[in-house]
Chain A
């Protein structure tokens, strides 16, 4: 994270809730300072073979124990002298949060969480929480990052305490997307820990409340909670133990299986209301020659300037993100249309491309949210200084016309997004798409000439090429420092 919630020299505190330890960004390392109660199990799991397959496949963040002098050094820097273990974690290159994911990404994060819970169960351990906040994405691969989620279980314990958290932060948001056409963005920007059954009950259509899966996930718990409220005593929240660990394992394994079935059942197959998820197939205004010209321009720019990190702003279904990824770059693709981003995610996953697709509206990028507005940093904070090259293909006219942003403000944004270069496709006033967005308004001040004059304040035009028979121009721009 870039905005420091708690800064003291080079120290930034990145976690705020778990009493077992805290995560710090200190001296350019991600270090978890672990309190004595949690240290022995974490030390054991780091060395035991149980979780090695997850680490080898990249679905659990690689971590190593720091030696005693280093631990004491960091203990002083972070003001955590009581910590008896310090663990350094590998850094995921670009952080993303559930409010930027597609339903399919949330499903995959949930699958990973259940996989870990099932694996740990056989070893007498478990997860003490089950939230999408414990998962990041490396390209299209979910990575579990919170080693302090692992806990030693009482092997006779029949209950999985994070069950409710799993339902409210994975299953209910997906169900609301499916049944109520809500977006994950609106759910997670307003509800860090998901939506509980009492709230969800009133959001779900009346008939759906009485049918699975809403009946078991939302309605029955909602009715039962009324009884719980009447009881309202601590006896509800005590451990329930079986006479034999085998019974407890049997019960929990069945519950994990049932949660996994529900997870796949509530994930919508497509995102309702998407206007752009089939754009390349049916509405793309380029013929094959023009498309080849555009692809050649972009590929040359990526290769000649050896871009290692690329942001595809307005990635649509990921055609040009794929082109960039195939040159060897790490790509983050953003689009405001969740359906288009879901298609990009499916493409990246099936073709094993290093593309992280995110639902982000460039005109209203994800804000900083959470504790002290620092728990989850804004998209622009995370993007600043990250990308060698930014693709802005046929996206600028949307910002200028639909969002009413000025050319000068557009250049300011472009200066933040890129470290070096931008490949930009300018759609001019002669293009049908431009005219469609005008809707009768006068945008005569936006022309190729005024655009180039504005761009010149922050960028140098390295190369430009008009697309054959179109009022569209491709630019390769270099940032002035």
Chain B
């Protein structure tokens, strides 16, 4: 179960940064440079999310073994 969940989330890493069809709400100016920076940061933080998850998973596996 855990493995299935993990692999599904690995697939999620690839989704980070992909475009979907909704356009931004037109009320405020989202900038361009900051938007690109946010996308880059989101990808990096997405990676961090999975690294933490793997560490937790591996940690949990060994504690169960113990």
* Interface residues in chain A, defined as those with a beta carbon under 8 Å from any beta carbon in chain B: 17-19, 128-129, 131, 151, 154, 158-165, 167-168, 193, 196-198, 216, 220-225, 227-229, 234-244, 246-247, 250-251, 254-255
Contact = CB atoms under 8 A, between A and B. Distances in A.
Nearest to A241: B20
Interface string B10-38: 01100111111111110111111111111
Given A238-B22, A254-B45, A255-B41, A17 B27 contact: yes
B16 A237 contact: no
Contact of A167 (B17, B21, B34): B34
B45 A255 contact: yes
A165 B28 contact: yes
Nearest to A19: B27
Contacts of B37: 216, 220-221, 224
7 closest Cβ pairs, A-B complex? A221-B33, A164-B31, A243-B12, A225-B33, A228-B32, A164-B34, A224-B36
Contacts of B8: 243
30 contacts: A18-B27, A129-B27, A154-B22, A163-B38, A164-B34, A167-B31, A167-B34, A196-B31, A197-B34, A198-B33, A221-B31, A222-B33, A225-B32, A225-B33, A229-B32, A234-B23, A235-B19, A237-B23, A237-B35, A239-B21, A240-B19, A241-B18, A241-B20, A242-B15, A242-B46, A243-B12, A247-B9, A250-B49, A251-B46, A255-B45
B42 interface: yes
Nearest to B50: A247
Interface string B34-56: 11111101100110110000000
B25 A128 contact: yes
B20 A239 contact: yes
A165 B29 contact: yes
A54 B48 CA distance: 32
Contacts of B32: 224-225, 228-229, 236
Contacts of B17: 240
Contact of B15 (A229, A237, A243, A255): A243
B12 A162 contact: no
Nearest to B37: A221
B9 A244 contact: yes
Given A224-B36, A235-B19, A247-B12, A240 B31 contact: no
Contact of B29 (A18, A193, A247, A250): A193
Contacts of B36: 221, 224-225, 227-228, 236
Contacts of A216: 37
A227 B19 CA distance: 17
Contacts of B31: 163-165, 167-168, 196-197, 221, 225
Nearest to A129: B28
